[in-house]
Amino acid sequence: MPDRLRLGLIFGGRSVEHEVSVVTAEHVLAAADRDRFELVPIGVTKAGAWLLPEETKRQLAKPAPPFQKRLVSRSPLAESGPAGEVGRADLRPAIDALAGLDVVFPLVHGTYGEDGTLQGLLELAGLPYVGCGVAASALGMDKALMKAVFRDAGLPVAEHVVLRAPDGERALLAAARDVERRLGYPAFVKPANGGSSVGISKVSSREELAGAIVEAARCDRKLVIEKAVAGREVECAVLGNADAEASPVGEIRHRREFYDYEAKYLDARTEVIVPADLPAGTVERVQDLALRAFCAIDGAGMSRVDFFYCPDGSLVVDEINTIPGFTPGSMFPRLWQARGVNYAQLITRLVDLALARHKERPVV
């Protein structure tokens, strides 16, 4: 079939969401339309090394522990180096792997995948790719910048403070006092650049706050501390380019203190409810805010926008995810499924959007 598009799937990567990304890639590989696409898997190890397609296939074919165990243990690509280490990565295999592709679907969540760095490489290579561009990805990743852009666009965000990781005990105590004065408790402490709730804590005392700042500072030099918002967690998916559409609205119900890593991937009691049971008019408000959030970062292709729906009926935008969870059971595909777009069709639609966007880009 000479007309098939060579679709590169880049997955794995250096971030804490490496394992999730591998599981996602396996689903996309199994589901994508083979009449339309020749699938070219490109695995990135935890150390950042790119594996050529043949090596990637060999690694994926190795027997792996079941889904949930894998999320806390090792991915088939984990062997080549320690997680999180920002070592030198030889980019030549990456350049080789990209040669001959027609379009790329980046499935790497978090740092070095969802943050504009991978998108930058693909821009330099002149390849169309699924999802947001460089700036939108970077804005979506950095919770401090994201909030600034959202606020500027008039979107409701939680009251928050941005700070540099304090250097030493005294600076830590001063930072904790300052946050306490400006926000009070309970509060959420987050690395500005993170993912899957790693490094995030909910705190209710100065001692917890100081500990949480130290914890978050392990993930990033920049931290965001927010006033806790009491509300239901509802999510809306956005699909499209300039003409983007908002999906039905879903709700996450977890049984933990907040929606942490455990609740996201391991706690069987966490429920994904599609569609969310919301009063008349609220779905439209969520959809409108989701599209405005997508426009605020100048999004493309896809995003998922997460909200708190408060008892008084108000909505607070928590965040936008530019490479949202993408297994068939994840919120983003389920929301489109509820609109009649199945998983395979969704993949095709995203690739078509990537091709359309690439055509529109300026040539100079």
Ligand X SMILES: Nc1ncnc2c1ncn2[C@@H]1O[C@H](COP(=O)(O)OP(=O)(O)OP(=O)(O)O)[C@@H](O)[C@H]1O
Residues that bind ligand X (CB under 6 A): 158, 188, 190, 194-197, 200, 226, 228-229, 233, 258-259, 306, 318-319, 321
Report how far apart, in Å, the C-alpha atoms of 305 and of each of 251, 297, 315 are: 12, 12, 12
Nearer to ligand X by Cβ, of 88 and 269: the residue is 269
Nearer to ligand X by Cβ, of 21 and 56: the residue is 21
Please state the closest distance from residue 356 (CB atom) to ligand X, in A: 26
Please state the closest distance from residue 195 (CB atom) to ligand X, in A: 4
Please state the closest distance from residue 20 (CB atom) to ligand X, in A: 10
Q: How far apart are CA 50 and CA 95, in angstroms?
A: 9
Nearer to ligand X by Cβ, of 185 and 258: the residue is 258
- Picking from 162, 82, 120, 113, the residue whose alpha carbon sits closest to that of residue 10 is 113
Bridge partners of 129? Answer: 104
| The CA-based dihedral angle spanning residues 206, 197, 339, 322, taken in that order and rounded to the nearest 10 degrees | 110
Nearer to ligand X by Cβ, of 53 and 186: the residue is 186
Nearer to ligand X by Cβ, of 129 and 259: the residue is 259
Q: What residues have CB less than 8 Å from 361, skipping those under 6 apart?
A: none
Please state the closest distance from residue 158 (CB atom) to ligand X, in A: 4
| The CA-based dihedral angle spanning residues 18, 23, 26, 30, taken in that order and rounded to the nearest 10 degrees | -150
Please state the closest distance from residue 139 (CB atom) to ligand X, in A: 12
Report how far apart, in Å, the C-alpha atoms of 100 and of each of 43, 59, 103, 127 are: 16, 22, 9, 10
Nearer to ligand X by Cβ, of 220 and 319: the residue is 319
Please state the closest distance from residue 200 (CB atom) to ligand X, in A: 5
Could you give the residue ranges of the DSSP H alpha helices within the chain?
A: 18-31, 53-61, 67-72, 92-98, 117-125, 134-141, 143-152, 169-182, 206-217, 261, 282-296, 331-337, 343-360
134: left (phi over 0), alpha (psi -120 to 50) or beta: alpha
Q: How far apart are CA 316 and CA 256, in angstroms?
A: 20
Nearer to ligand X by Cβ, of 21 and 59: the residue is 21
Nearer to ligand X by Cβ, of 53 and 325: the residue is 325
39, 7 contact by CB (below 8 A): yes
Report how far apart, in Å, the C-alpha atoms of 357 and of each of 7, 132, 234, 241, 309 are: 16, 10, 29, 7, 33
Strand 187-191 to 160-164 pairing: unpaired
Using Cβ positions, the residue closest to ligand X within the complex turns out to be 259
46, 111 contact by CB (below 8 A): no
How far is residue 188 CA from its own chain's centroid? 19
Q: Where do we find the tokens 């927010």?
A: 226
Please state the closest distance from residue 258 (CB atom) to ligand X, in A: 4
Please state the closest distance from residue 359 (CB atom) to ligand X, in A: 30
128, 354 contact by CB (below 8 A): yes
Please state the closest distance from residue 92 (CB atom) to ligand X, in A: 30
Nearer to ligand X by Cβ, of 21 and 197: the residue is 197
